[in-house]
Structure 1
Amino acid sequence: MNQIDLNGQVAVITGGAQGIGFAIARRLVASGAKVSLWDMNAGLLDSAAAELGAAATSVVVNITDYAAVEKAVAQTEAEAGPVSILVHSAGIAGKNAPLDDYELEEWRRVIDIDLNGCFYVNRAIVPGMKARNYGRIVNIASIAGKEGNPNAAAYAAAKGGVIAMTKALGKELAKYDIAVNAITPATAKTRILDELKPEFIDYMLSRIPRGRFLEVDEAANMVSWLVSKENSFTTASVFDLSGGRATY
């Protein structure tokens, strides 16, 4: 493992109790950071924080509730210190269905969690970074946000929005020592697969030239550099983690 120096840094990781989020938290702690895990699942949060030890705190938060997000920021900074790193990993896959059959409430749910939630978390944390003239943000999008996946229009639309929002925010904050980037993973072996039909999972695997799913530690490796001080120039960019699937 390459050594990344994150000593003195405080990171918020949404969706941090499991999957890619937890793998990133584990890597950041190994690099010297304190982490605050944000998630909806209190039981998973407790076990994840316990595994990470004294460097980890946790907050049960619904990211679709902006007031709750603001309270989570205040709690995190009271317990761990000013937030200098944000990794936004929380999200859902949503149901698989053709667009013309897609349930309206399910569309709204996916957009609310995957896109509005990303906006709320960024909006609540950015002011502190601006005031301190330092920050590193990585929003986890998806290859679906670049290419679209059939029968998953809501998820693709939300992740495409995350990509566009990240690019806009990175340009807004370019005059500060704040880097805002996104990653676009292909499917990883996480619990999000439980939401998807087997034939849809097979389709996504067939689209990956490497012939396998993403390992969560591979995402953590890329993110650990993106949130370091060494990433002092690149911002408003999208980093591919699709195993060769991306066409741009």
Structure 2
Amino acid sequence: MNMTRRALVTGGISGIGAATAARLRSDGIEVITADISADADVQVDVSDPESVAALRERVGAVNILVNSAGIVGPSTALVDTDLAAWRRTFAVNADGTFLMCRAFAPAMCDDGWGRIVNLASIAAKDGNPCQSSYSASKAAVIALTKSLGKELATTGVLVNAVAPAAVASPMNSDTDPAILERSRSLTPMARIGRPEEIAELICWLTSPAVSFSTGAVYDASGGRASY
């Protein structure tokens, strides 16, 4: 395919985001990492509409968008979950995905080609106990992906999601070890995933090789996913 591909990866300096950025660059794709950290190519708070608008103004159009920025949120029983912490988890995971898609999808549609990959989670399907805000916010990402995929189905812009099981990444550094062990124990492969394994699937979904799939959810769960 003779076209210049330009990618924007949120949460791009660590974990799955960093692995995805590196993998895309290995294919000769121009990659811009966006993160709340100053170590990224550009800084952004995906939960803040003004910050996302400023990012769009600075970066311009891209034809690949990977929404990898996310937080785990509180690891507490639902009845003990603080409302502010619940809302913060949704603000980053669900609102952030919405705001980024809203900002960058129009130019892709104008160009007639684009790939958007949103990071969901196996928790969105299974519902992790003591992670209600994370599970629910990632379920929102799945529904958003399905809806937007249908909206843009005839534009040349494909929108898909990846739903990993637990991955060894900085995002999980503060996750309750018992929750991580539960995820590992439920995984038939009996291990935690690696960021580079998830990045391979993401990069395939951003490629021209994928042409007849949109609004879909791809599992990367070591066999854990049952539907």
Using the alignment, how far apart are the partners of 1:216 and 1:202 within structure 2? Answer: 18
**Of the candidates 61, 68, 76, which is equivalent to residue 89 of structure 1?**
68
1:7 CA drift (Å): 6.4
CA distance in 1, matches of 2:3, 2:10: 20
Quick check: 1:61 aligned with 2:44?
A: yes
Find the residue that maps to 1:196 and give its secondary structure: coil
Out of 5, 27, 30, the residue aligned to residue 26 of structure 2 is 30
Extract unaligned runs of 5+ from structure 1. 46-57
Q: How does 1:6-17 map to 2 (within 5 A)?
A: 8-17=4-13
**Structure 1, residues 36-58: CA drift from partner, whole Å, max 9, x if none?**
1000011x32xxxxxxxxxxxx1
Match among 40, 43, 53 for residue 36 of structure 2: 40
Contact 1:64 1:113 in 2 (8 A): yes
Root mean square deviation, CA, Å: 1.2
Matched, 1:157 2:140: no
Q: Deviations over 1:142-187 (max 9, x none)?
A: 0000110000000000000000000000000001111100000011
Q: Find the residue that maps to 1:176 and give its secondary structure.
A: coil
Unaligned runs of 5+ in 2: none
Q: For residues 95 and 102 of structure 1, what CA distance do their matches in structure 2 show?
A: 7
Q: 1:6 to 1:72 in 2, by over 3 A?
A: farther
Instruction: Give runs of aligned pairs for residues 70-89 of structure 1, distance below 5 A.
Output: 70-77=53-60, 82-89=61-68
Query: How far apart, in 1, do the equivalents of 2:21 and 2:3 lie?
Result: 14
Between the aligned partners of 1:71 and 1:130, the Cα distance in structure 2 is: 20
Whole-angstrom CA distance in 2 between matches of 1:6 and 1:234? 21
Q: Give the aligned partner of residue 238 of structure 1.
A: 217
Q: What TM-score results when the alignment is normalised by the length of structure 1?
A: 0.89
Mapped partners of 1:217, 1:131: distance in 2: 32
Alpha-carbon spacing, 1:70–1:152, altered in 2? closer, same or farther (3 Å)? same
TM-score normalised over the length of structure 2: 0.97
Aligned with 1:178 (options 147, 157, 173): 157
Deviation at 1:59, TM superposition (A): 0.8
Q: Aligned pair count? A: 227
Q: Secondary structure at the match of 1:174?
A: coil
Q: Alpha carbons of 1:6 and 1:205: their partners in 2 closer, same or farther (altered >3 Å)?
A: farther
Aligned pair partner of 2:84 in 89, 102, 105: 105
Alignment-derived partner of residue 17 in structure 2: 21
Change (3 A) 1:187 1:7: farther
SS at the partner of 1:195?
A: coil
